[in-house]
Amino acid sequence: MNEDRSSSGSLTARWLERLFPGVVGEPRDRKDLIALLQQARDRALFDSEALGMIEGVLQVSDLQVRDIMIPRAQMVVIGRDQDLNQILPVVVNSAHSRFPVIDDDRAEVIGILLAKDLLQYCGESAPRFKLRDIVRSAVFVPESKRLNVLLREFRASRNHMAIVIDEYGNAAGLVTIEDVLEQIVGEIEDEYDFDEGAFILKRGPNNYMIKAHTTIEDFNEHFEVEFDDSDYDTIGGLTVNAFGHLPVRGESVVVGGFRFTVVRADSRKVRLLNVERIEDSDTPPMESPDENTSPSN
């Protein structure tokens, strides 16, 4: 066994020596390893994006589920007693593929609804809708679980969502495999099928998905409006100013005949917005922050 370890160590040392000429011995800690990887990047052995992914992999082992989970108050949920007509608008408006099904309150998650399971109830010959027939078992994980362990479990079980529970067994939030992968590869926006270089995606009559860094000039040109761009360059900046605070996912505000709903945001900025053009000409130009729609997630 000791010989195996010695052989493994010498192989690692020889690999590092080839990759980093002039470096003697193995890195003593993660800081040394990152420094070596940055040297490799500077020597064009790989690019900054690859370095970022490697650093993300290393960081995942340090993070816990509580660090990235979507809090309970921001979850988009389905009530166990809701009928199909109540569920479909939630599914369509949120554009999610999986939904926690709750009992009397958000702390009691009884299962998971997959949006694709609703397809069988479309059409004239569809069976009678019974939510309990299609609710799937939920996976529960503690807030303290390490992300690298969770990712391994996601891969093994082929689950894409887990309900995070606190020390009392109540739902504290949820976490998805996408949330974990974004810690490694960065933000994932493929879900909304933007064409390359596009910033505005039409999803239905008067309904659009818009990247928050879309310039106000481009927004004005697309919608034939005249939002002022003297103070803010982007739609994200305009909407954050309208909120009066950095909003979380699910919050919405009305500005100049458009309802902006936050689809994706982090602790630093808004990233993705759902935009609905409001036809009612009597709609006030802006809601005060106190009147913002509370998060439905």
Q: How confident is the model at residue 297 (pLDDT cuts 50, 70, 90)?
A: very low
Task: Measure the CA–CA gap between 105 and 120, rounded to whole angstroms.
Answer: 28
191-291 fold: 3.30.465
Q: How confident is the model at residue 41 (pLDDT cuts 50, 70, 90)?
A: confident
More confident residue, 52 or 13: 52
pLDDT given for residue 284 in this prediction: 41
Percent of the chain with pLDDT over 70: 79
Radius of gyration of the chain (CA): 24
Task: Measure the CA–CA gap between 149 and 135, rounded to whole angstroms.
Answer: 26
Q: How far is CA 165 from CA 61, 80, 133, 248, in A?
A: 20, 19, 25, 21
More confident residue, 84 or 268: 84
- 277 within 8 A of 295, measured Cβ to Cβ: no
pLDDT given for residue 295 in this prediction: 41
pTM above 0.85, yes or no: no
204-251 pLDDT, tens digit per residue, is: 788 888 988 899 999 999 999 999 988 888 999 999 999 998 887 778
Question: What are the φ and ψ backbone dihedral angles of 52, each rounded to 5 degrees?
Answer: -60, -40
Question: Which SS3 state, helix, strand or coil, does residue 264 take?
Answer: strand
More confident residue, 105 or 59: 105
Task: Measure the CA–CA gap between 48 and 51, rounded to whole angstroms.
Answer: 5
Q: What is the mean pLDDT of the chain?
A: 79
Q: Where are the domains of the chain?
A: 2-46, 66-185, 191-291
163, pLDDT greater than 90: yes
Q: Among the CATH numbers 3.40.50.300, 2.160.10.10, 3.40.120.10, 3.10.580.10, which is that of 66-185?
A: 3.10.580.10
Helices vs. strands in the chain: H and E counts, helices first: 10, 12
What is the CA angle 174-80-296, rounded to 5?
A: 50
Average pLDDT over residues 168-196: 75
More confident residue, 154 or 43: 154
- 209 within 8 A of 272, measured Cβ to Cβ: yes
95, pLDDT greater than 80: no
